[in-house]
Structure 1
Amino acid sequence: MIRNDEIILDLDCCGYKLYQSPSGYCFTTDSVFLSACVRATSNERVLEIGSGSGVISFLIAGKTDALEIVGIEIQKRLYEMSLRSLELNKLNDRVKFINGDIRTIKNVLPAGSFDVVVSNPPYQIHNSKDELSEKEICKTEVLCSLKDLLTATKRLLKYGGRFYAVIRTNRLVDLISEMRANQIEPKKLIPIQANIESDIDLCIIEGKRNGRPGFLTCKPIIIYDEKGNYTPETQEIYYGHKNKGN
């Protein structure tokens, strides 16, 4: 049942829909582009750290053949919204959500139990003593730092498993530093560019648990053409079906 200050969005993927609260945290294009880059096969388990209202987990369910997708979210209201979206999308056989803190959840998620870990992490450094809103918590390293994220990823990811994250370029060096400190070798970088003339301030990175050195920088994904319309690549990401490589 939809509640006050909520809307239901069509994800343009397998008919899936998502509860969102415009006054709180709503997903952005970051989540859409990240989910489009994830590879997962029919015998692989995927963990999303910081799943919010569930958008990335649902898109991965639609765009890959992943055996199981688990999302963990610390904020209870977002977690409860993801549960209602889960019922709406009838994905209980493949997707589940956990309300918990990735820093203290060792007894719930066994070590080395996932083939893929995915995250759209908070990217703003927390300096304020003021109480933060739901939206600010999602964007600020108050409940989960990059160090917390990669420490948990190292424990939960199988040897040879893949890690995917979307990050602002001004925090990319910090993320890579934490990846290597936790034995997750950076393997691929995909820049995201608003248009052909704009600076690149967003990127997606893929890493491999205990991987060998070897790094590929891909050509940028350009979101808009010169007329301000989605490029064919962006249209495929938003409205296409299976991810390439699945």
Structure 2
Amino acid sequence: MNEPLALTEDSLLDGRVRLRQPAGGYRAAIDPVLLAAAVPALPGETVADLGCGVASAGLCLLRRLPKVRVVGLEVQPRLVTLARQNGELNDVGPDLAAHQGDVRDPPACFGSGRFDHVMMNPPYLDPAAARVSHDKARRIATVEGAASLDDWMRCGMLLLRPKGSLTLIHRAERLEEILTLCAAGCGSLTVLPLWPHRGEPAKRVIVQARKGTAAPLRLLPGLVLHRDDGSYSKAAEAVLRAAKPLTLQV
């Protein structure tokens, strides 16, 4: 029988989002906020959130765009329960759904071509090279398991309507692989590097593509996250605190 899960209640977007999440293991930080800020959804559209966890990205998206609908897919049942509870906690329950399932075989409600947009923050560590956490929940969230990056991308492409957008945040070292996987069915590829500090190499990137379109690859100037003193840059604060969007497509 599962032991009771120790929880904390935290906040994102300068208190605009309340978030109940496990006290240990993987905990939402800035990645889901940045991911949600980059999704180019419009009122009335539907967004699939693959690997939704406790719905941190979905809740941030709904705070910025309250007239969209977010449907999350998460492999860990306990996190699905928390995602649903977080929807109620933030008074967006009707606009946020969470389902338990695997990107390799999603539930029937994740049908082909049903979504205007897909966002994802897949596990990013190579199990052959990573120091694997002893915490199971953290390991599932951060280390690639049976579902490969290829599986995540295939699922995302399948769910999208024609000209729908796929947005993901990932490690910069996986960019070549991501672009190769996108190239088969997408165009209008745009890459936004995330610089930890000015002058440092990017550790993460946000990549966006449109299904079934054709346009040259665009490499954007990027977002510097921190000042020299470690505080967030003005541009980062606009996204992380004021819920401003990150515009990747023209």
Between 121-130 and 61-70, report the one with greater CA deviation: 121-130
TM-score with structure 2 length normalisation?
0.89
User: Which of 221, 224, 227 in structure 2 is aligned with 1:225?
Assistant: 227
Give the aligned partner of residue 240 of structure 1.
Answer: 242
CA change 1:33–1:242 in 2 (3 A) is closer
- AA paired with 2:88? E
The match for 2:183 is 180
TM-score, structure 1 length as denominator?
A: 0.91
Q: Secondary structure at the match of 1:137?
A: helix
Spell out, residue by residue over 1:97-126, the C-alpha distance to the aligned partner (whole angstroms, 9 max, x if none).
111112112523221000000001111223
- TM-superposed CA distance for 1:10, in Å, is 1.5
Aligned to 2:145: 142
After superposition, what is the alpha-carbon deviation per residue over 1:209-243, rounded to whole angstroms, capped at 9, x for unaligned? 01103111111201111232211111101111352
User: What SS does structure 2 have at the residue aligned with 1:200?
Assistant: coil
Local SS of the residue matching 1:194: strand
**RMSD of the alignment, in Å?**
2.2
Q: Give identity over the alignment, percent.
A: 21
Distance 2:133 2:42 in 1: 43
Structure 2 partner of 1:49: 50
Length, aligned pairs only: 242
Please give the per-residue CA displacement for 1:58-100, whole angstroms capped at 9, x wherever unaligned: 0011112452111110011111111211121121121111111
**Runs (5+) with no aligned partner, structure 1:** none
Q: Which residue of 1 aligns with 2:97?
A: 96
**1:211 corresponding residue in structure 2:** 213
Q: 2:203 aligns with which of 196, 201, 204?
A: 201
Give the 3 Å change call, closer, same or farther, for CA 85–143 of structure 1 in structure 2: farther
> How far 1:203 sits from its partner (Å)?
0.6
How far did 1:154 drift? 1.8
